[in-house]
Structure 1
Amino acid sequence: MEPLLALLVGFGGARLAGAAGIDALDGWQPALRVGVALMFLLTTFAHFYPPLRADLVGMVPPALPNPGLLVTITGVLELAGAVGVLIPATAPLAAACLIALMIAMFPANVSAARRKVAQGDPIGRRTVLQLVYIAAAALTIP
């Protein structure tokens, strides 16, 4: 639920900044990019903060090798996407890559929900939230 709050607060704050005269944020699409970036910065933090990292490592399906390395790699990719979505020239590619990453990582959410590991929402709520995050990233693409 925290990523959703980051998305909404980032979007709302950026819209307010745009309305207050910051031209780069004057529009729903640039503001949404800020929300998406903030959301992914928050999730990136979880990949490296030890108590949260342990939960993410536990979410990796058992069939996949080296869960710690996979969590590190996805954290780095999320960080790159968060930065990339803020740069107008790279925003479309970064958003597309973030969408692909979310789709690729969704089986870990399903696996975690089925195994009842890590914190988080039941699979129905996880699915709805994932669709919201994918839609938000998609809407940042001009």
Structure 2
Amino acid sequence: MTTPLLMLLILTLPLLANRLVGRTAAPAATEAAAAWGLGLVFLFTASGHFVQAEAMTQMLPPWVPLRLALVHATGVLEIAIALGLFTRRWRTAAAFAAATVLIAFFPANVYAALQHAPMGGHAWGPVYLLVRAPLQLILLGWTWGFLLRGRTPKRMPSRA
């Protein structure tokens, strides 16, 4: 149960440090600190895709093909999102990707909890969702409130 608390600590530390060091609460500094926190969370969760890859395959239904490759690929995706969050140029796109991933990966957490998968808190069964669902909502709310509110995805320029 320490993992969700650790994730919340990682998420909030850059923002708290920004405020405690005496930097201004300017929107750009707040956004950057919030993005760093979210990026660090994504790096933290991505590490599980490589350190505990075999256990993570059990979070997916058996009918999903190439489960280990999918676990590794989603770990790489989370690293890419984190790197995007660390740069001002890619921050908005990475934040949209982060929100999409948080929503898209949630069914795997539900499946894992229902199957009592031996990964993280999922072995607790459905009761773990009482922790996981609010954590997902916090991460989504953080992403929306600090990084996406009032923004729309940028379109790629057309090649006319």
- Shorter chain as denominator, the TM-score bin is 0.7 to 0.9
Unaligned residue ranges in structure 1 (runs of 5+): none
Aligned to 2:93: 93
Aligned to 2:142: 136
Aligned to 1:28: 30
Picking from 3, 11, 23, the partner of 2:7 is 3
Taking structure 1 as the reference length, what is the TM-score of the superposition? 0.85
SS state of the match for residue 59, structure 1? Answer: coil
Unaligned residue ranges in structure 2 (runs of 5+): 123-127, 152-160
Say if 1:65 and 1:119 are closer, same or farther in 2 by CA, change over 3 A. Answer: same
SS state of the match for residue 120, structure 1? Answer: helix
- Per-residue CA shift, 1:47-80, capped at 9, x if unaligned? 111xx22322211222321111111111011000
Shift of 1:136: 1.5
* AA partner of residue 34 (structure 1): W
Aligned to 1:123: 129
1:13 and 2:33 equivalent?
no
SS state of the match for residue 58, structure 2? Answer: helix
Taking structure 2 as the reference length, what is the TM-score of the superposition? 0.76
1:81 and 2:81 equivalent?
yes
SS state of the match for residue 6, structure 1? Answer: helix
Shift of 1:39: 0.6
Rounded Cα–Cα distance in structure 2 between residues aligned with 1:11 and 1:54: 34
Aligned to 1:72: 72
Aligned to 1:102: 102
Deviation >6 Å, runs of 4+: 23-26
Report which of the two structures shows the higher radius of gyration computed on alpha carbons: 2
Q: How many residues align?
A: 138
Say if 1:10 and 1:63 are closer, same or farther in 2 by CA, change over 3 A. Answer: farther
Say if 1:24 and 1:119 are closer, same or farther in 2 by CA, change over 3 A. Answer: same
Same amino acid, percent of matched pairs: 32
Rounded Cα–Cα distance in structure 1 between residues aligned with 2:138 and 2:81: 17
Shift of 1:15: 3.7
SS state of the match for residue 140, structure 1? Answer: helix
